[in-house]
Structures are given as C-alpha cells and as structure tokens.
Amino acid sequence: MSARFTGSFTQQEPIPEEGIAAAVEAMRHGRLHRYNLVPGETGEVALLEEEFAAFTGARYCLAVASGGYAMATALRAAGVGPGDAVLSNAFTLAPVPGAIASLSAHPVHVGVTEALTIDLDDLAAKADRARVLLLSHMRGHIADMDRLMAICDAAGVTVIEDCAHTMGAAWRGVPSGRHGVAGCYSTQTYKHMNSGEGGLIVTDDAELAARMILLSGSYMFYDRHGAAPPPEAFERLKWEVPNVSGRMDDLRAAVLRPQLRTLAARCDAWTERYRAVEAGLRGTPGLTLIDRPEAERFVGSSFQFLLLDWPAEAVAEVVARAAARGVELKWFGEAVPRGYTSRYDAWRFAPAEAMPATDRVLAGLLDMRLPLTFSLEDCALIARILRAEIGAVAARGAPADQRRA
C-alpha cells in the first residue's frame, strides 16, 4: 500500500576497475603532479585533455581543480575583472555567482521560465548591462541556443557556458559547451563523471586557451599539455598572466579517463531513468512536468517538476510526506538555503532586483537526483510515491484551478 523507497539518492556507481587500477599505478610511482613526468611520458591529465577535447569536438581543453574554478578561469581569461557586471542565471547553483564574485565582479541575475531555462526576453532586456553571460544549463535544461546566441551576438555579449549538468548533452546536435566561447564542466562526485572534485574547460579560441592554461598554474610547462595551442600562443602572455594555481592532478585524471569512454552510454541510462519517472508522474493533478524540446538532447541525471502556485505549506507537506517514504526532494521555494540548494535572493553579496515571474517558478520547483544506482523499477516506485503523496495533499486543499498536468 504505502511502499517505502529504500535506495540512496546520494549513492554513485563505483569508479570503473580500470580507473582504480590506473589510480593505484599513479600512487605507486608517486608522480601525481601533472608536470612531474619521466622523459617521453604523457601524463594522465594531458591525455584526459586530449580525449575530452575530442569528445566535445573542441580544439583546446584544460583540466582544473573544480567546476567553479573552471568558470572563474574562463571569465578571467575573457577579461572579466573587478567591478564588472556579468549576466547569469537567477536559477543556478551557488558556485556560479561565486565564480563571478571571486573576480570581484557581480552577477546581473536573469530570470527563469517555466521550462526552467534562462528567460530570453529578460536576457534581451538586460543584454546591454554586461559584456559577458555566464550561462548555466542548470539541472540540464538547455535554452533555445539559436535564439540565445542571436541575442548575445547582436549585443556583443560573450557567452561562457556552465555545463555542470550538460556534459554529454547537445542542442540541435551541437554539444553543450560548444555554443559559447568556452564551456565549463565539473567532475565533482554528483556530476556526469566523478573524480570527487575536478573541472574541465573547452574552447576553440587559442588566446583564451593560452590565458586559461597560464592562469591554471602551468608555470612554463604549457608544452606538457594535451590539447593546448602551440608555444607561440604563450610567448607574449607568459609575461602578463598570473599563476592562479588550480591544476588537476594525475590521480583524478586517471579515475576520469575510463569514465569518459562510457559517458555516452551512461548519459542514455540517466535519460531512461528520467523518462521512467516522467511517465509515472504524467497526469498527476496539480503537477506540471517540464517540456523537453525536440532540439534538446538532455542528460536526465536529475528530475524537476513544478507545483505551480501551490501554497508554501502544501509544498512543504509534499516534501515531508515524500521524505517519510524515502524520496528526497529539494525545494527551491524554501525561504532559507538548505544543503546544496539556495536561491538568488540568498546570495546577499549580489544584490537582486525583484523578479516575480522567477519567484513564482522557484516557489513551486522541486528537484531530485537520479543516480545510476537506481533501477528503472526504482524510478517507477519513486513516481508512484510522489503521485500518491502529491495527490493526498492536493485532495485536502489545493484549489481546483491549480490542477494541471
């Protein structure tokens, strides 16, 4: 009757044996620093950079210490500095405004739509306020990139993509991270490849790549990189660009390389799980599913839905009842930041204007992880639990005009 889900929303798959063996090998020889190589050797980090560049089709790739570091480095290399404004999503994770703030710049928040993508009308209205957009494909929802790039190109705005949730995704066949001048990825445990912490940046721009490599702390070892521009690109820059140390080490790269080989298949497995939850929730009164456009090839590593215009107490009750049955929901409507979840108005270092349309979406936005350790049956059970608990709360009070699906 009231089955309880007993799986763990925070349990990843193990590191592939091949990655464990490569990591043990690196620990045995002890040369973990990426530039500590024996003659003729190419390190794991350089190999990962080559392989990830090939995976995305980018000319250049740089591996770094985290996704947040990747974004800050791309912004800095693109010329963002103290006092600058950077357009960015109001709906994203804290490291995104944090990357902007790390340069003593400040975000100009752009709203979110019911499709959970950046509000392109709001972007167009604010495009003259900054030279750079740090675009977060938050929770894997990809905006209409054709229109977005047209708006930014017309306004002379450089786009840097935060692809923490879109590694392996694409818009109209173009990999996420390849629309803007640079794409930033995270390999933190909850993302699509897991090295505990880590980040990757791709670009086709040789000067930007050279700046980012020097910023990451290459010293004068930029010739030991896997997917870097030729040494000439560094000639002038090596005198100008500071070393803001944030390299990746060979241990993490060793753990990541085998995961890259199975990334496409794992992305498909995530999306299968997403579709199983979606199918189980379709038609639930009061619940709005998120439309996924044809042009978007998304990776369903997490699932979102809306209880649009529900009173806060009713949403809170759904969260509590789901939790009691083992289903962990994160709620972006909560007034106080909790766990990983916070909202733009909680980032008080970055003053926000009133954004009522965004507030309405966030107030009803629920979010959950779908780790690959869940089976399709698990996903169906999760959907049944949510359907029942949302139904129970809706039956007791949600006004009739909120019943949509």
Active-site residue numbers? 191
Distance CA 123, CA 129 (A): 10
Structure tokens at 332: 């972006």
Is residue 226 within 8 A of residue 49, CB to CB? The reply is yes
Residues 247/251/256/258 CA torsion (nearest 10 deg): 150
Taking the complex as a whole, the smallest distance from the CB of residue 71 to ligand PLP amounts, in Å, to: 7
Q: Which is nearer to ligand PLP, 186 or 216 (CB)?
A: 186
Minimum CB–partner distance for residue 162 and ligand PLP (Å): 5
The C-alpha atoms of residue 354 and residue 362 are separated, in whole angstroms, by 13
- What Å distances lie between residue 64 and 197, 252, 285, CA to CA? 9, 10, 45
- For tokens 């962990």, name the residue: 328
Block residue for tokens 């350089």: 46
**Please, which residue, 219 or 349, has the CB nearer to ligand PLP?**
349
Taking the C-alpha atoms of residue 49 and residue 46, their distance in angstroms, rounded to an integer, is 5
Q: Return the number of the residue (73 or 136) whose C-beta is nearest ligand PLP.
A: 136
Shortest Cβ 97–ligand PLP spacing (Å)? 10
Within 8 A by CB and 6+ apart from 399, the residues are none
User: For ligand PLP, which is the closer residue by CB, 66 or 117?
Assistant: 66
Q: State in angstroms the smallest separation of the CB of 197 from ligand PLP.
A: 6
Sequence-ordered alpha helix ranges (H) in 282-375: 312-324, 356-363
Which residues of this chain interact with ligand PLP, rule CB under 6 A? 66-68, 92-93, 95-96, 136, 138, 162, 164-165, 186, 188, 199
Q: Find the shortest distance in angstroms from Cβ 163 to ligand PLP.
A: 8
The nearer residue to ligand PLP, 325 or 343, going by C-beta atoms, is 343
Work out the widest C-alpha separation in the chain, in whole angstroms.
Answer: 72
